[in-house]
Amino acid sequence: MSVDATLSFEEAMEKYDPVLGFEVHVELNTKTKMFSSAPNVFGDEPNTNVNEVDLGMPGVLPVVNRTAIESSIKIGLALNCTIAETCRFARKNYFYPDTPKNFQTSQYDEPIAYDGYLDIELSDGTVFRVEIERAHMEEDAGKLTHMGGSAGRIQGADYSLVDYNRSGVPLVEIVTKPIQGAGSRAPELAKAYVAAVREIVKNLGVSDAKMERGNVRCDANVSLRPHGRERFGIRSETKNVNSLRAVEHAVRYEIQRHAAVLDSGEPVIQETRHWHEDTRSTTSGRAKSDADDYRYFPEPDLVPIVASREWVEELRATLPEPPADRRKRLQADWGYSDLEFRDVVNAGVMDEIEETIAAGAAATVARKWWMGEIVGRAKNADVDPGQLGVKPETIVELNKMVEAGKINNKMAAEVLDGVLAGEGTPAEIVEKRGLAVVSDDGPLLEAIDAALAAQPDVADKIRAGKLQAIGAIVGGVMKATRGQADAGRVKELILQRLGVEG
Site of interaction with another protein (CB under 8 A): 30-32, 36-39, 45-52, 55, 63-69, 86, 88, 93-97, 145-146, 148-149, 154-155, 157-164, 239, 272, 274, 285-286, 290-291, 293, 295, 298, 300, 302-306
String of DSSP letters for 343-406: HHHHTT-HHHHHHHHHTT--HHHHHHHIIIIIHHHHHHHTS-GGGG---HHHHHHHHHHHHTTS
**With respect to another protein, which residue has the nearer C-beta, 220 or 344?**
220
**With respect to another protein, which residue has the nearer C-beta, 63 or 404?**
63
Q: Could you tell me the smallest distance in angstroms from the CB atom of residue 124 to another protein?
A: 37
Q: Could you tell me the smallest distance in angstroms from the CB atom of residue 31 to another protein?
A: 5
3-state secondary structure of 25: strand
**With respect to another protein, which residue has the nearer C-beta, 238 or 331?**
238
Q: Could you tell me the smallest distance in angstroms from the CB atom of residue 314 to another protein?
A: 14
**With respect to another protein, which residue has the nearer C-beta, 67 or 425?**
67
Q: Report CA-CA distances (Å) from 264 to 1, 46, 436.
A: 20, 48, 70
**With respect to another protein, which residue has the nearer C-beta, 55 or 388?**
55
Query: CA torsion angle for 352, 353, 356, 361 (degrees, to 10)?
Result: 170
Q: What is the DSSP letter of 295?
A: -
What contacts 182, CB < 8 A, 6 or more positions away? 18, 20, 128, 189
Of 250, 275, 256, 248, residue with least CA distance to 192: 248
Q: Could you tell me the smallest distance in angstroms from the CB atom of residue 184 to another protein?
A: 31
Q: Could you tell me the smallest distance in angstroms from the CB atom of residue 173 to another protein?
A: 17
**With respect to another protein, which residue has the nearer C-beta, 91 or 367?**
91
CA separation for the pair 502, 496 (Å, rounded)? 8
3-state secondary structure of 52: coil
For residues 277 and 30, the answer to whether their CB atoms sit within 8 Å is: no
Q: Could you tell me the smallest distance in angstroms from the CB atom of residue 234 to another protein?
A: 19
* Residue-level length of the chain: 502
Q: Could you tell me the smallest distance in angstroms from the CB atom of residue 47 to another protein?
A: 4
**With respect to another protein, which residue has the nearer C-beta, 146 or 185?**
146
Q: Report CA-CA distances (Å) from 278 to 116, 255, 275.
A: 35, 19, 9
